[in-house]
Amino acid sequence: MSITTDVNTAFAAEKTRQIEAARSREQAFRARIDRGEIRMISPDRYEVLTGWDRGETFTVSRNAQGEIDGIIAAHGLDERADGTIALYASSPAWHGLGQIIPGGTTDIDEVLTKGGLDFTVTTVPALYRWGGELREHPDQFHTVREDTGAPLGVVGRRYQPIQNRTGFEFLQELVGRYDVVWESAGVIRGGRRVFISIRLPQTVTVDADGINDLIVPYVAVMNDHSGNGQFACVVTPWRPVCANTERFAVRDAVTRWAVRHTAGATDQIKEARRTLGLSVNYFDRFAAEETALARTDLAVADFHQVIADLWPLDDDATDTKKTNFAARLDALDDTFRTEAERVGRTAYAAERAITGYLDHLAPRRPARSMTEEIARATAALEGADDDIKTKAHRRLLLLTRA
């Protein structure tokens, strides 16, 4: 009897703690609203108004009793008025979000519509108020979505928007010429950035007579409407076994082409076809250099030296920097061991460890209105770590010549 009483008492106490925790959570949430830190923008949907997360939106989920039981951050992809996500994909990528067409499509109109890219951008004068009078800034303009009126950025007088259809339709020729389909298309940061990607018909094999590792070639095209970026076309190798973006410069091959938003941009975009043609040279060179790395044994000490070259630690570094360095080294060592088990303890395994760390493990603070996972996917797409990946690639290639 005493055991039953003890169990019931413990259960009652635990239930009381749960109720008090839920009440405290609700009170704390209400207090944030009262202090002006967050505001409701629709039922159970809120926006952060202060601090590092200013501008981020999130959804509050509630249980049957109406109590808060979870806060779901926004995914970072654009959302249409009907609540669907502005993303097209030929397979369930991006964590199952978007409008998926199994096997993909070759119709650019369908891609633009389902990806949410079927909008145009215009510029309007930048205005300011002075002495009770509204004045126009002669050299500044705002880029604005013509479908919603949403502001995208501030630009100069020479800026001319490259419309999404104009920027992307040159790829249609490649889709029509080869047996390829549109792979993905989407809108990021409310339309400030949009992207489209296609998978090229050939695949790349690293060390065909040895590890026989498969690399899938993609071309991604990105358009920026914020005034802080260019229209860019990039060759993007992808390693499906671990979802690494193996994008770095190789010798004597073009990997990226970009143009500013100016009057002559449309004509220059036609030249982007050269980038697609040169991508064949890129992947030939890519396979040769990666095969050389795959046939170069690498000691752990040499791997650590490469890491020290990429992320140098000064002798007078703070304790925090030393701790971060040690944590990074541990993570890279673990990844290197995993890669080495599959492809051998080689320079190729070392490079895979570095690209894998940058894509999946390196600390990355999400931009406003993004989950960490979507922030990582966006960073890989936009090439946030291309420079350090290129540095690692070139550093490891030096070991093949020793």
What is the domain extent for residue 151? 121-158
Average the pLDDT over 254-274 and give the result.
72
pLDDT tens digits along 181-206: 788 888 887 888 898 888 877 788 89
Residues 225 and 348 in one domain: no
Which helix H or strand E contains 340, and what residues bound it? helix 319-343
Asked, for residue 177, whether it belongs to a domain, the answer is yes
Q: Check if the beta carbon of residue 199 is closer than 8 Å to that of residue 183.
A: yes
Structure tokens of 376?
Answer: 């990582």
Give yes or no for residue 93 having a pLDDT over 80. Answer: no
Residues 131 and 205 in one domain: no
In angstroms, rounded to a whole number, what is the distance separating the alpha carbons of residues 136 and 82?
A: 36
DSSP helix/strand/coil, 271: coil
Residues 297 and 382 in one domain: yes
Residues 253 and 361 in one domain: no
Calculate Rg over the CA atoms of the chain.
Answer: 25
Q: Check if the beta carbon of residue 296 is closer than 8 Å to that of residue 348.
A: yes
Asked, for residue 79, whether it belongs to a domain, the answer is no
Residues 100 and 245 in one domain: yes
Asked, for residue 28, whether it belongs to a domain, the answer is yes
Residues 136 and 188 in one domain: no
Give yes or no for residue 3 having a pLDDT over 50. Answer: no
In angstroms, rounded to a whole number, what is the distance separating the alpha carbons of residues 185 and 231?
A: 15
Q: What percent of the chain has pLDDT over 70?
A: 70
pLDDT tens digits along 131-160: 889 999 989 999 999 988 989 999 998 999
pLDDT tens digits along 306-333: 999 999 999 899 999 999 999 999 999 9
Asked, for residue 103, whether it belongs to a domain, the answer is yes
Residues 313 and 378 in one domain: yes
Q: What are phi and psi of 270, to 5 degrees?
A: -60, -30
Q: Check if the beta carbon of residue 58 is closer than 8 Å to that of residue 74.
A: yes
Task: Name residue 86's amino acid.
Answer: A
Question: How many domains in the chain?
Answer: 4
Structure tokens of 325?
Answer: 């360095």
Strand partners, 233: 221, 257
The residue out of 259, 282, 305 marking a domain boundary is 282
In angstroms, rounded to a whole number, what is the distance separating the alpha carbons of residues 348 and 339?
A: 9
Residues 323 and 374 in one domain: yes
What per-residue string of b and e applies to 324-336 under the rule 16 or more CB within 10 Å gives b? Answer: ebeebbebbeebb
Asked, for residue 366, whether it belongs to a domain, the answer is yes
**Helices and strands (H and E) in the chain: how many:** 11, 16
In angstroms, rounded to a whole number, what is the distance separating the alpha carbons of residues 290 and 397?
A: 9
In angstroms, rounded to a whole number, what is the distance separating the alpha carbons of residues 185 and 259?
A: 20
Supply the DSSP symbol for 219. E
Residue given tokens 């036609």 in the structure block: 270
pTM flag (> 0.85): no
Structure tokens of 379?
Answer: 């960073």
| For the ranges 72-81, 359-368, 369-378, the one whose mean pLDDT is highest | 359-368
Structure tokens of 371?
Answer: 């989950």
